[in-house]
A and B are shown apart, each in its own frame.
Chain A
């Protein structure tokens, strides 16, 4: 089985702050991490590899620095890594990102593609499903459990108030929730091998068969009209009661405001 996992390097939003004037993230000096949903997807792929045997390829599109996320994935146990990086890919929205990633994925053989549900710096949840659309393969999103039986994937797909059990033939694409799998620790040996013995394949514009109209800023139909930080409405109220009393307290307050 050949699995491709798409990962994104993102700023650790636990530590990130907004510039209220420009409405953008202040990224300077903020540590970068593998997007948590993507990391859960990688763990799910490594779990399948442990159980059934698989070749796990990690793919990331980003600036050269995104290589760090790929090395980390190698240190966790991925078999090979590729970085999709080129000035021409810069400024991409989800449309251009998914078309670029799909073009890169066509360079590989695959049975299963796993992406995270969404990235913590964008929260769109669009790239995974768009990749599936472009490749013409089935897509199952919001996976909280994933297994493979008889060349089909079986996914427990999360809903707000229920779940679906979905089976699909491969190849297909699954988007992972962070609950899908708790990522394993790297090993010191894995880290040293990832940096000293392993290669990260670099894929640039010239390697892809793709129309310029579908990449980078020019290939991105999204226009951001304005972004802003929501102001605080007022101070919250903190009560220290046991769970039953606090639930009652909350119901009473919501009742007073005619919300329920």
Chain B
């Protein structure tokens, strides 16, 4: 067993760190305060190949692995969680399911431009009445002629309105429950498809979170992703992968807050000495660092598991649960260690604490992760 990152992963981290510091950090406060999607950053992410990291080269991607991708999301989120989630939603929730379930034609038509970064991707599962209970889908797809017609509304869709390719779930046979859900690839220019309300959020405010409206939206038969009626499985397996991305995002937020705080406590003086000289500060920092390192091991091992094991949902759920709770606890304590300055916008820990909260909610709440972990642990119970 070896806990050292390989040389290529170390060099990739240097690359992501340098890019994040130079290109992403200078915009972080402004995109947050202005709720502005950083289009110029996405252009650069595409140019340098950050939008197809784990996708094979022959499909237009970078031919790296999930660990490299996780380190990328971590380093971007360390300075700007908005940028982290743009990459995560695009890669895990849009590229990944098309790579896993797509036909050769779908890979060429949709995956290649996503993996090269020519197009941005999004994932439409959540509905007003179907959040944690994703099986309660109201959006329906009906066969009309040789294609499909979609009707319904999706909400809280990351990259909504900015993406050109949407992986969307809809009921094709309500009588079959979850076995009646199918998955479709919807291009943004499909007739009858439009973007509704853009949400105003507590954190990750630069990321686009929008409603998707389908009003007799027409797509071809070839836009069905995977088999008819197998959509729920596509959604669940995609979310397993997505959790690695969000766990990496949470890890990055926590590390970013700790780095800011270590700098701050060495400079800020009270009672004639730097805050770092007080044992309370030292013990708190030690606690935060230890939790972050534990989270990092879980996140990296889940990323590794995704590439090496058939079932990694258990690993991904534990990584996301622990990393999200770590991000929330670490950012909260970092604000506390900043005192009054932690509560104002001049210091980034204020934003980081707001950004951390969403990692406990999206792509499965902490409670959903606990359900996944417990289900794996206990298995099916016999009926009493």
Contact = CB atoms under 8 A, between A and B. Distances in A.
Interface of A: 68, 71-72, 75, 185-189, 191-196
Contact of B68 (A72, A75, A188): A188
Interface string B108-123: 0000000000000000
A68 B11 CA distance: 9
A188 B18 contact: no
Contact of A72 (B11, B19, B50, B62): B11
Contacts of B7: 68, 71, 195
Contacts of A185: 15, 18-19, 48
Given A188-B12, A195-B7, 11 more contacts: A68-B11, A72-B11, A187-B49, A188-B72, A191-B15, A191-B64, A192-B8, A192-B12, A192-B62, A192-B64, A195-B6
A195 B10 CA distance: 11
Interface in B28-64: 48-50, 53, 57, 61-64
A194 B12 CA distance: 11
B64 A186 contact: no
A189 B11 contact: no
Interface in B1-29: 6-8, 11-12, 15, 18-19
A186 B53 CA distance: 13
Nearest to B15: A186
B48 A191 contact: no
A189 B8 contact: no
Contacts of B15: 185-186, 188, 191
22 contacts: A68-B11, A75-B11, A185-B19, A185-B48, A186-B11, A187-B49, A187-B62, A188-B12, A188-B50, A188-B53, A188-B64, A189-B49, A189-B57, A191-B8, A191-B11, A191-B15, A191-B64, A192-B64, A192-B68, A194-B8, A195-B6, A195-B11
Nearest to B18: A185
B149 to A, nearest CB: 40
Contacts of B50: 188
A196 B61 CA distance: 16
Nearest to A186: B15
Contacts of A68: 7, 11
Contact of A195 (B8, B18, B57): B8
A251 B152 CA distance: 73
Contacts of A192: 8, 12, 62-64, 68
Given A192-B62, A192-B63, A192-B64, A187 B6 contact: no
Nearest to B47: A185
Interface residues of B, number: 19
Contacts of A72: 11
Most buried by B among A185, A186, A193: A185
Nearest to B23: A185
B6 A189 contact: no
Contacts of A194: 8, 11
Interface string B49-87: 110010001000111100010001000000000000000
A189 B18 contact: no
Contacts of B12: 188, 191-192
Contacts of B61: 189
B227 to A, nearest CB: 32
A193 B8 CA distance: 9
Contacts of B48: 185, 187
B18 to A, nearest CB: 7
Nearest to B53: A188
Nearest to B6: A195
A238 B6 CA distance: 46
Contacts of A71: 7, 11
Given A75-B11, A195-B8, A196-B8, A189 B19 contact: no
A232 to B, nearest CB: 21
A200 to B, nearest CB: 12
A130 B57 CA distance: 43
Contacts of B62: 187-189, 192
A68 B7 CA distance: 8
A186 B63 CA distance: 14
Contacts of B64: 188-189, 191-192
Contacts of B18: 185
Nearest to A190: B49
In the A-B complex, the 4 residue pairs with the smallest Cβ-Cβ separation, listed nearest first, are A189-B62, A195-B8, A187-B49, A188-B62
B76 to A, nearest CB: 13
Contacts of A189: 49, 57, 61-64
A40 to B, nearest CB: 15
A245 to B, nearest CB: 27
A78 to B, nearest CB: 14
Contacts of A191: 8, 11-12, 15, 64
B223 to A, nearest CB: 29
A185 B15 CA distance: 7
A187 B48 CA distance: 5
Contacts of B6: 195
A149 to B, nearest CB: 29
Contacts of B63: 189, 192-193
Contact of B49 (A188, A195, A196): A188
Contacts of B11: 68, 71-72, 75, 186, 191, 194-195
B245 to A, nearest CB: 15
A145 to B, nearest CB: 23
A185 B48 CA distance: 7
A211 to B, nearest CB: 36
B113 to A, nearest CB: 17
B262 to A, nearest CB: 15
Contacts of A196: 8
Name the residue among A68, A188, A189, A195 with the largest chain B CB count within 10 angstroms: A188
